[in-house]
Structure 1
């Protein structure tokens, strides 16, 4: 009597796992929870403190495309809509990675970085245009890293499959 289809699938899976162990092949990766069709955005808002207008503040954020309005609305609720405006918003591969690199870059410049808030030191020469250019450069570096990684993997794959 033939086994059920479910028994055959589990037997195939067990055999696959066994062969992978014998030949030191990496196990099959589990499906990821991330959808490749959902675009993530990274943005920078220029913030003006009405009590101290000489302070230079910027707020960085990242979110999925469908959550942009909600995220920006929450930020406006917290800091006031009149006090800020958008200076940068672009699609990115990983908003968390770009946020970390932006924070690290500005922390190395001796900026005050707390959470998503960036504050330039007093008498700093940075303005909105320079911050926007710096973030754009960091984004381009991140994209170049991803491109190089994919290119190397593609070349390795093409050499391996000859």
Structure 2
């Protein structure tokens, strides 16, 4: 009996695929690779260069919630734990997208952006509070963009 149910399900799937091709309906999407239960975080660390204390440096990172400790340990190992502290950490939809918008914003301000490191130009008026506020504003813009996208898709769905 169980074998017959399996055959019926595969036959139904073949018929559904055939009907989709006849009526030019998009095929069913494959399951997504991302796990909605694993949260991704974006963070910023304030970094002090002991050799040149007047330099203003920040390190940006993103990682899954399960990898935060490992990522921070690697960063602290590279730059020294005493030389940095965290000024920003928030859950995000896409860490690479927010990283790209942050780097683009600061590059337009003529900052030095190399890899994950942000460096303010000499005699800049930026401090940790202003950097944190700017990144919070960029995060809010990203959230608003996602919200608008979902709402447009939702309205389109109900108009169909």
Which residue of structure 1 lines up, in the alignment, with residue 10 of structure 2?
A: 10
* Cα distance per residue 1:64-89 (max 9 Å; x no partner): 11211111111000000000000001
Q: How far off its partner does 1:153 sit?
A: 1.4
Q: Residues 112-131 of structure 1: matches in 2 within 5 Å?
A: 112-131=112-131
Q: Residues 143-158 of structure 1: matches in 2 within 5 Å?
A: 143-158=143-158
Structure 2 unaligned spans of 5+: none
Q: Secondary structure at the match of 2:42?
A: strand
Report the Cα distance in structure 2 between the residues aligned to 1:119 and 1:158, rounded to whole angstroms: 47
* Cα distance per residue 1:89-148 (max 9 Å; x no partner): 111111111111111111111111111111111111111111100000000000001111
The TM-score with structure 2 as length reference comes to: 0.93
The TM-score with structure 1 as length reference comes to: 0.92
Which residue of structure 1 lines up, in the alignment, with residue 56 of structure 2?
A: 56
Give the alignment's Cα RMSD to 1 decimal. 1.3
Which residue of structure 2 lines up, in the alignment, with residue 81 of structure 1?
A: 81
- Which segment drifts farther, 135-144 or 148-157? 148-157
Q: How far off its partner does 1:159 sit?
A: 2.1
- Which segment drifts farther, 25-34 or 132-141? 25-34
Q: Say if 2:24 is the partner of 1:21.
A: no
